[in-house]
């Protein structure tokens, strides 16, 4: 069984190995740049994903109060909220073995998405937690009355109605219902009903509710997860999104890299990292949200290269292993450049990116090393050592303004011929761009009005004692930090305006505020308006000392410099050197004996 996780890699030809050695520091072995790209870079935290959705679905981020329209492949982090509309459905995947499905009119908070401490708070609607592998009992769904903790793999359906009543039905597997009065085991065939406060809920059981359309939806989604098991010979099936590959591409055997995946449902001239958005995520920074439905695993794990054998882009996945590699927000090389006479070091008028090739050095822009400052005074002409940049059409770019305003709908494809005529600067470390509110959006589509309004519900507390959501830094603080690191001018808000407060949650279905705790205000998030943000000190009063007449200097004769005759240097006759007779060398007189000797030499040479 263990051998199913192993995969033979083709040995790199000597020519390629030599070429790679020229691109990598000699002190690091080749394996250091293999597919576990994030192993040396501490991940800020686990990330879940919107696998699929239909109808109206929104995400309210844990680091900002804005409500955003959700899309497939949008990241979900700890302390994020997800809500569905009247006709909405969605699936949030945790990894290749577990997901939670959301029916209509759901409001759920993902307290933590860490596999070792996965916790959700369901305020309204119906969800189904699906676990395909063994569970260690660390997943928990808290409702206003009880906590539901799965003890085995299975399907666990939980509903909360408008009155706060909880219904739990185990379709497969076994779960514990946890209350202050003790635990109760629940298996298929029974629906448990709980009502009342978490301190003393009233519990009763009845026959399991009948299967409905939501159960059918769950069955359809199960097939996609089960399809991932067939990919085990090629890639680690614990990686989220592997189940999307079978229906959207094919595995081929490349003589250089072994088994690689080629997408088939793409247009002619397609290239990786072109269709989608760069979104700012707390801790990870710039994160690629792909428009392709399969665009999770191939953009957050592994590498891309253009296969000449198949005349197509191919994804080189991480080698199969029991432990999935760390998730990366993207695996690209960023490049700044300008077309024209403007200095690249000053302007960075355009931001481009290119997918990283297998075994290519990677410079993360998040974590401890994200404070690397780009040397804006250095200009490197056509010296970007990214192998894929030599593939025509691999380099995608937008203007700096469009990047900061979240407009990626019409990117520019820079040809290799253009790249050889412009100045480029590889940007290793933090991009010199302060994210804006627009960079939080997953799509240009506006959120549905019914979800943006967040209608009022009865305040509720929740059962359970969650350890608390991961600490999320308010977005305004993140902006200021990026500005400080990159030395980019930044105006956080209108002078005199109060800074945003994260202490009170306007989503009143949850009595727990957007914090690290189950309920109550958190002073750390309630940031008072800081006088430093208001800028009156820069409005200097008009005083005699600040009046500037001294800068209006009258013209004086001293500034008019007369022409100096000394600069007119007369011609010096000493430089006209007469011809010296000694240089006329008379022609030598030929001597008869000398002629005879030369003739003798010529005879011997012949």
Q: What is the pLDDT of residue 309?
A: 94
Q: What whole-number distance in Å separates Cα of residue 467 and Cα of residue 445? A: 35
Question: 568, exposed or middle or buried, with CB in 10 Å at 0-12, 13-18, 19+?
Answer: exposed
| pLDDT, average across residues 284-297 | 97
pLDDT at 116 over 80: yes
Q: What is the pLDDT of residue 340?
A: 53
Burial annotation 422-437 (CB, 10 A radius, 16+ → b, else e): bbbbbbbbbbbbbbbe
Q: What is the pLDDT of residue 18?
A: 28
| pLDDT, average across residues 36-50 | 68
Q: What whole-number distance in Å separates Cα of residue 525 and Cα of residue 531? A: 17
Is pTM beyond 0.85? Reply is: no
| pLDDT, average across residues 253-270 | 95
Q: What is the mean pLDDT of the chain?
A: 76
pLDDT at 307 over 90: yes
Q: What is the pLDDT of residue 357?
A: 96
Residue 554 tokens, joined: 């009258």
Residue 467's contacts (CB-CB under 8 Å, 6 or more residues apart) are: 112, 117, 119
Task: Please compute, for residue 498, the number of CA atoms within 13 A of its CA located in the half-sphere on the CB side.
Answer: 6
Q: What is the pLDDT of residue 405?
A: 94
pLDDT at 535 over 50: no
Q: What whole-number distance in Å separates Cα of residue 276 and Cα of residue 442? A: 9
Q: What whole-number distance in Å separates Cα of residue 584 and Cα of residue 124? A: 113
Q: What is the pLDDT of residue 432?
A: 87
Distances (CA, A) of 375 to 24, 312, 335: 21, 36, 13
**Dihedral, CA of residue 420, residue 424, residue 428 and residue 432, to nearest 10:** -150
Q: What is the pLDDT of residue 349?
A: 82
Q: What is the pLDDT of residue 446?
A: 93
Q: What whole-number distance in Å separates Cα of residue 71 and Cα of residue 85? A: 14
Q: What is the percent of the chain where pLDDT is above 90?
A: 52
**pLDDT, tens digit, 9 for 90 and up, residues 402-448:** 999 999 999 999 888 888 888 777 887 788 899 999 999 999 999 99
Residue 74's contacts (CB-CB under 8 Å, 6 or more residues apart) are: 49, 50, 59, 279, 289, 442
**pLDDT, tens digit, 9 for 90 and up, residues 195-222:** 999 999 999 999 999 999 999 999 999 9
Task: Please compute, for residue 221, the number of CA atoms within 13 A of its CA located in the half-sphere on the CB side.
Answer: 31
CA-nearest of 11, 58, 18 to 455 is 58
Q: What whole-number distance in Å separates Cα of residue 323 and Cα of residue 320? A: 8
Q: What is the pLDDT of residue 45?
A: 84
> Residue 135 — pLDDT band, cuts 50, 70, 90?
low
| pLDDT, average across residues 125-143 | 87
Q: What is the pLDDT of residue 470?
A: 72
| pLDDT, average across residues 510-522 | 38
Q: What is the pLDDT of residue 510?
A: 54
Residue boundaries of the structural domains of the chain:
2-39+249-440
Q: What is the pLDDT of residue 253?
A: 96
Q: Are strands 140-142 and 119-131 parallel, antiparallel or unpaired?
A: parallel
Q: What is the pLDDT of residue 93?
A: 96
**pLDDT, tens digit, 9 for 90 and up, residues 361-414:** 888 888 654 433 333 323 333 445 799 999 999 999 999 999 999 999 999 998
With beta carbons less than 8 A apart as the criterion, state whether 90 and 70 touch: yes
Q: What is the pLDDT of residue 385?
A: 75
Q: What is the pLDDT of residue 427?
A: 80
Type and span of the H or E element at 477: helix 475-486
Q: Which residues pair with 260 in a beta bridge?
A: 252
Of 173 and 38, which is predicted with more confidence?
A: 173
pLDDT at 265 over 60: yes
Of 323 and 189, which is predicted with more confidence?
A: 189
With beta carbons less than 8 A apart as the criterion, state whether 72 and 88 touch: no
Q: What is the pLDDT of residue 323?
A: 75
Of 477 and 490, which is predicted with more confidence?
A: 477
């Amino acid at each position: 069984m263990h051998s199913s996780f192993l995969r033979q890699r083709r040995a790199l030809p000597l020519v390629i190995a030599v070429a790679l050695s020229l691109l990598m520091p000699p002190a690091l072995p080749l394996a250091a740049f293999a597919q576990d790209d994030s192993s040396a870079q501490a991940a800020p935290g686990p990330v879940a994903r919107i696998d699929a959705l239909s109808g109206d679905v929104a995400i309210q981020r844990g680091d900002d109060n804005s409500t955003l329209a959700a899309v497939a492949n949008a990241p979900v982090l700890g302390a994020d909220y997800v809500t569905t509309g009247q006709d909405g459905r969605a699936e949030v995947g945790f990894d290749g073995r577990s997901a939670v499905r959301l029916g209509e009119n759901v409001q759920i908070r993902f307290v933590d998405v860490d596999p070792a401490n996965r916790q959700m708070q369901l305020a309204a609607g119906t969800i189904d937690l699906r676990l395909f592998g063994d569970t260690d009992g660390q997943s928990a769904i808290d409702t206003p009355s009880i906590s539901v903790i799965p003890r085995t793999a299975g399907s666990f359906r939980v509903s909360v109605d408008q009155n706060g009543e909880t219904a739990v039905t185990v379709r497969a597997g076994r779960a514990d219902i946890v209350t202050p009065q003790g635990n109760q085991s629940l298996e298929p065939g029974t629906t448990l009903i709980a009502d009342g406060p978490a301190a003393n809920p009233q519990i009763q059981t009845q026959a399991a509710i009948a299967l409905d359309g939501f159960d059918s939806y769950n069955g359809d989604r199960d097939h996609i997860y089960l399809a991932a098991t067939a990919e085990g010979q090629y890639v680690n099936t614990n990686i989220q999104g592997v189940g999307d590959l079978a229906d959207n591409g094919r595995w081929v055997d490349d003589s250089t890299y072994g088994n690689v995946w080629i997408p088939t449902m793409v247009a002619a001239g397609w290239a990786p990292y072109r269709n989608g958005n760069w979104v700012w995520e707390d801790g990870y920074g710039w994160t690629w949200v792909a428009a392709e439905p399969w665009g999770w695993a191939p953009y957050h794990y592994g590498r891309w290269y253009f296969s000449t054998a198949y005349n197509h882009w191919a994804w080189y996945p991480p080698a199969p292993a029991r432990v999935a590699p760390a998730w990366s927000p993207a695996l690209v090389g960023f490049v700044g450049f300008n077309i024209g006479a403007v200095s690249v070091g000053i302007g960075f008028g355009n931001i481009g990116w290119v997918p990283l090739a297998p075994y290519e050095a990677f410079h993360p822009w998040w974590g401890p090393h994200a404070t690397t400052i780009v040397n804006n005074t250095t200009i490197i002409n056509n010296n970007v050592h990214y192998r894929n940049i030599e593939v025509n059409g691999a380099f995608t770019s937008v203007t700096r303004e469009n990047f900061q305003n979240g407009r990626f709908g019409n990117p520019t494809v820079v040809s290799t011929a253009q790249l050889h005529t412009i100045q480029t600067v590889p940007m290793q470390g933090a991009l010199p761009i302060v994210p804006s509110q627009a960079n939080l959006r997953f799509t240009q589509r506006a959120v549905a009005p019914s979800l943006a309004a967040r209608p009022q519900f009865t305040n509720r507390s929740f059962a359970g004692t969650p350890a608390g959501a991961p600490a999320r830094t308010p977005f305004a603080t993140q902006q200021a930090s990026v500005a400080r690191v990159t030395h980019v001018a930044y105006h956080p808000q209108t002078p005199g305006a109060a800074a945003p407060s994260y202490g009170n949650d306007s989503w009143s279905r949850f009595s727990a505020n957007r914090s690290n705790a189950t309920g109550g205000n958190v002073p750390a998030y309630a940031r008072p308006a800081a006088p430093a943000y208001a800028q009156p000190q820069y409005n200097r009063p008009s005083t005699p000392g600040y009046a500037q007449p001294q800068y209006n200097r009258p013209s004086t004769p001293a500034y008019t410099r007369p022409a100096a005759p000394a600069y007119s240097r007369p011609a010096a006759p000493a430089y006209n050197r007469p011809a010296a007779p000694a240089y006329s060398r008379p022609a030598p007189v030929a001597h008869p004996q000398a002629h005879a000797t030369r003739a003798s030499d010529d005879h011997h040479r012949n």
